[in-house]
Amino acid sequence: MTQPSRPQLTLQDIADRLGARLVGDGSRRLSGLATLKRAGPDQIAFVANRSYLKDLAATRAGAVLLHPEHAASCPVDRLELDNPYLGYAQVSRLFDPILAQPSGGIHASAVVAEDVAIGERVEIGPNAVIEAGVELGDEVVIGAGCFIGAGTRIGAQSLLHANVTVSHGVSIGRRAILHSGCVIGGDGFGFAHDGRGWHKIAQLGGVVLGDDVEVGSCSSIDRGALDDTVIGNDVKIDSQVQIAHNVHIGDHTALAGCVGIAGSTRIGRNCLLGGGVGISGHLTICDGVQVTGMSLVTNSIHEAGIYSSGTGAMHNAQWRKNAVRFKQLDDIARRLTRLEKRGEQG
């Protein structure tokens, strides 16, 4: 990637791309996006929820993106949209310096095997290594220092940031975004014990990522033992996430940072797993399940809804007293039942 420089757009350009109603000067030139508080006259701001309305009257933004119901309070030019948070997402990408300037070309220092199939306008960064039989779709960007193992296929318009590792025999869909340090296709954790020690089970499956998958920094998705590990379309995976072998994740599911999913578990579609959630192996989690941060899931979930475990932080002195009682909890429950019975008999 070349040096970032943010593009200039007119307010009319932005309105057209968003399908928004423009009220104001369509020729106004904008070079960036900022919060209501920080935006200057060459920037566009937005009101994504009511908690920011208080900043609207005093904004110095060149224009504001908002819901029509807040139009009357807007002191500057505006774009009206029914889903202004979605509009914010769309505008943010118009001003992304990375997306704006694909430089194209294969760097002289990249090591690319002879039989790699390379699409149109592909960019391969310095010191990247692409093994034999790899297929790269149109407009794929492979960052500096990336490694793509033999026979792996990467769909059109996918972006691999610097120092990503994709092992052999992996299939990645279109428009993937893989962040630095993530590893796709390392071996799953499989060993047989002979009574004395471990014998490795070769991990002969691959990893299949659907379209529009994003994987955060330093996350890992292990390859399957025999069949593949499968990540659906539009699955969003944050940083420091671990997905073990033969896990399946349904379309549109999002996993926050530090989530860990053990082997062969199947997560449904449209699930949301909070940061640090752990899910045991060989479970089935149905569609539409949300799990709050740092919860442990040890049983399958067959009903959509919100699930939690654990307890929140408290003063250490208070916690010590309560935590020690946790070890007596069964005893407490039994003693309570005994007292109740005595009361009934008395």
Question: Which residues does the annotation mark as catalytic?
Answer: 245
Nearest to 36 by CA among 28, 47, 50: 47
Among 33, 63, 65, 156, binds a second copy (CB under 8 A): 33
Nearest approach in angstroms of CB 63 to a second copy is 15
Query: Pick from 71, 116, 133, 62: which is nearest to 91 by CA?
Result: 62
In the complex with a second copy, the residue whose CB is nearer, 25 or 296, is 296
**CA pseudo-torsion sign 66, 69, 73, 74:** positive
Q: Check if the beta carbon of residue 66 is closer than 8 Å to that of residue 88.
A: no
Q: Hey, which residues between 13 and 32 contact a second copy (CB under 8 A)?
A: 32
**Helix, strand, or coil (residue 215):** strand
Which pair of tokens denotes residue 153? 């296929």
Q: Which long-range contacts (CB under 8 A, 24 or more apart) does 270-277 make?
A: 275/238
Residue (15 or 144) nearer to a second copy, CB? 144
How, if at all, do strands 229-231 and 191-193 pair? unpaired
Taking CB under 8 A as the rule, does residue 54 contact a second copy? no
Please state the closest distance from residue 300 (CB atom) to a second copy, in A.
Answer: 11
Which of the residues 175 through 234 are near a second copy (CB under 8 A)? 177, 179-183, 186-187, 189-194, 196-204, 212, 214, 216-220, 222, 225-227, 234
What's the min distance (Å) between Cβ of 247 and a second copy? 11
Least distance from a second copy to the Cβ atom of residue 23, Å: 22
| Interface with a second copy in residues 290-309 (CB under 8 A) | 290-299, 301, 305-309
**Long-range Cβ pairs for the range 117-125 (8 Å, 24+):** 119/156, 123/1, 125/1, 125/162
Binding to a second copy, residues 58-97 (CB under 8 A): 83, 85-86, 88-90, 92-93, 95-97
Which CB sits closer to a second copy, 2 or 73?
2
**Which residues are registered as beta bridge partners of 237?**
215, 255
Residue of 80, 147, 156, 231 that binds a second copy (CB under 8 A):
147
Among 11, 22, 141, 144, binds a second copy (CB under 8 A): 144
Strand partners, 193: 198
Question: Residues 6 or more apart from 72 whose CB is under 8 A from it?
Answer: none
Among 151, 284, 286, 288, binds a second copy (CB under 8 A): 151
Q: Is the Cβ of residue 72 or residue 193 nearer to a second copy in the bound state?
A: 193
Amino acid at 115: D
Segment holding 90, helix H or strand E? helix 84-94
Instruction: Look up residue 127 and give its two tokens.
Output: 């010191």
Distance of alpha carbon 163 from alpha carbon 183, whole angstroms: 9
- Between 235 and 254, how does the x/- string for binding to a second copy read (CB under 8 A)? -x-xxx-x-x------xx-x
Q: Shortest gap between Cβ of 77 and a second copy (angstroms)?
A: 19
Site size toward a second copy, by CB under 8 A:
145
Nearer to a second copy, 23 or 201 (CB): 201
CB 24, CB 63: distance < 8 Å = yes
